[in-house]
């Protein structure tokens, strides 16, 4: 009713939301998200192809991928905001259903899964730092052993150091090296479990978000606005999928560059992307480039 102020109390305050809010148009957000999804897929394929090239090419492709990832995340946030506003405007015209709806429940589960994944990823980074420290200690210990064994066999050196031929220095260093190696094996096992658990939580969060969107679409009336929201949900789902795999590959390439032992983590991330995107998108130029890049990678052994 034009000219009537919003009621401060009442059984249905949401009926006044359309009079107060100005929802951002959905079409520009969808167009931006679709363009960001295509760009992210192109950059994902470019980064995958760069893995078989010299290090400078990989570094440049990684920087481009990080920039594209930021743009894709911004487009995703914009589309999510536009979707929230569009759903709120549509819900304001419908009779609210009391109680907790399925969409809210799935979104809460998605938030919980995201939080769990972040905690696991933080622990994974701490585990990688521990592995680096253990490798450093093991290397220093082995170098000391290689130096001490021939030097301690000389009487002059033993007299200068004040040690006997039966010195426990070398056995002690050997013990430290063995302990470091055992600890390294443990951190490697932990890293595999943590990476698997974090990936599982990320996939669960995406699954809950998809279920939330499905629940919202099922509950909405079959109107033109609902069709636009459904199309936007499809675009958002594809953008989330591509962005998620781009983020995973960027993290894997960063890790492999730090380790300097080839690209084993990148190959695993790329394999997951090929399977997932091939299933979600079918045979497209981007997914075919990913598959060719994976085939061109040398085995990680």
**Per-residue confidence at 16, pLDDT binned at 50, 70, 90?**
very low
- Judged by average pLDDT, the poorest of 179-183, 216-220, 252-256 is 216-220
Of residues 34 and 12, the one with the higher pLDDT is 34
Least Cα distance to 245 among 274, 208, 213 occurs for 274
pLDDT of residue 296: 78
Structure-block tokens of residue 105: 């429940």
How far is residue 163's CA from residue 143's CA, in Å, rounded to a whole number? 19
- What's the half-sphere exposure (Cβ side, CA atoms, 13 Å) at 79? 30
Question: From the CB of residue 159, how many other CB atoms can be counted at a distance below 10 Å?
Answer: 10
pLDDT at position 70 is 92
- Asked whether the predicted pLDDT for residue 74 surpasses 90, the reply is yes
Q: Are 248 and 273 in contact (CB under 8 A)?
A: yes
The three-class DSSP label of residue 205 is helix
What is the value of pTM for the model shown?
Answer: 0.55
Q: Which residue has the tokens 């150091």?
A: 161
Q: 75 falls in which pLDDT band (50, 70, 90)? A: very high
What pLDDT, on the 0 to 100 scale, is given for residue 97?
53
Task: Say if residue 246's pLDDT is above 60.
Answer: yes
Q: How far apart are CA 212 and CA 227, in angstroms?
A: 16
- How large is the average pLDDT for residues 106-133? 89
Average pLDDT over residues 36-60: 86
| Highest mean predicted confidence (pLDDT) among 155-164, 196-205, 281-290 | 196-205
pLDDT of residue 18: 34
Q: Which of 39, 109, 49, 21 is nearest to 253 (CA)?
A: 49
Poorest-confidence range of 10-14, 146-150, 181-185, 207-211? Answer: 10-14
Residue 102 has pLDDT above 50, yes or no: yes
Give pLDDT, residue 67.
92
163 DSSP assignment: -
pLDDT at 98 (0 to 100) = 52
The pLDDT of residue 10 is: 38
CA distance linking residue 86 with residue 226, whole number of Å? 9
Nearest in space to 71 (alpha carbons), one of 47, 42, 35, 30:
35
What tokens appear for 265 in the block? 């983590």
Instruction: Identify which has the larger pLDDT, 191 or 100.
Output: 191
Count other Cβ atoms within 10 Å, centred on residue 63: 12
Do 118 and 71 touch, CB atoms closer than 8 A? no
| Cα atoms found within 13 Å of the Cα of residue 50, Cβ hemisphere only | 21
User: How far is the C-alpha of 252 from the C-alpha of 246, rounded, in Å?
Assistant: 10
pLDDT value at position 301? Answer: 38
The mean predicted confidence, pLDDT, of the chain is 78
Question: How much is the pLDDT for 47?
Answer: 87
Give, for 80, the enclosing helix (H) or strand (E).
helix 55-92
**Contact 255/121 with Cβ under 8 angstroms?**
no
pLDDT higher than 50, residue 61: yes
Residues 241-249 have a mean pLDDT of 89
Please give the biggest Cα pair distance in the chain: 104
pLDDT at 58 over 80: yes
Q: What interhelical angle do 224-259 and 26-50 show, nearest 10?
A: 30
Instruction: Write down the residue that tokens 């470019």 correspond to.
Output: 46
Work out the percent of the chain whose per-residue pLDDT is above 90.
Answer: 7
Residue 34 scores a pLDDT above 80? yes
* Predicted pLDDT of residue 195: 86
């Amino acid at each position: 009713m034009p000219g009537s102020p919003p009621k401060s109390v009442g059984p249905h305050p949401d009926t006044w939301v359309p009079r107060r809010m100005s929802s951002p148009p959905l079409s520009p957000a969808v167009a931006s998200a679709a363009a960001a999804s295509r760009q992210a897929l192109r950059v994902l394929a470019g980064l995958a192809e760069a893995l078989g090239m010299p290090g400078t090419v990989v570094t440049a492709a990684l920087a481009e991928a990080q920039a594209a990832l930021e743009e894709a995340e911004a487009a995703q946030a914009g589309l999510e905001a536009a979707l929230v506003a569009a759903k709120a405007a549509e819900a304001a015209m419908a009779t609210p259903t009391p109680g907790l709806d399925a969409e809210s429940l799935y979104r809460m589960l998605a938030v919980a899964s995201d939080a769990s994944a972040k905690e696991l990823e933080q622990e994974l980074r701490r585990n990688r730092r521990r592995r680096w420290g253990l490798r450093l200690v093991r290397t220093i210990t082995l170098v000391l052993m290689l130096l001490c064994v021939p030097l301690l066999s000389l009487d002059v050196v033993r007299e200068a150091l004040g040690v006997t031929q039966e010195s426990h220095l070398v056995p002690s260093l050997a013990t430290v090296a063995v302990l470091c190696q055992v600890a390294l094996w443990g951190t490697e096992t932990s890293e595999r479990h943590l990476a698997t658990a974090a990936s599982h939580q990320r996939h669960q969060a995406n699954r809950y978000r998809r279920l939330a969107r499905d629940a919202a679409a099922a509950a909405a009336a079959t109107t033109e606005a609902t069709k636009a929201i459904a199309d936007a949900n499809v675009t958002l789902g594809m953008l989330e999928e591509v962005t998620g795999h781009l983020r995973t590959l960027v993290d894997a390439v960063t890790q492999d560059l730090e380790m300097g032992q080839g690209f084993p983590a990148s190959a695993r991330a790329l394999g997951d992307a090929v399977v997932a995107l091939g299933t979600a998108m079918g045979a497209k130029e981007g997914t075919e480039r990913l598959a060719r890049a994976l085939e061109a990678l040398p085995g990680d052994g």
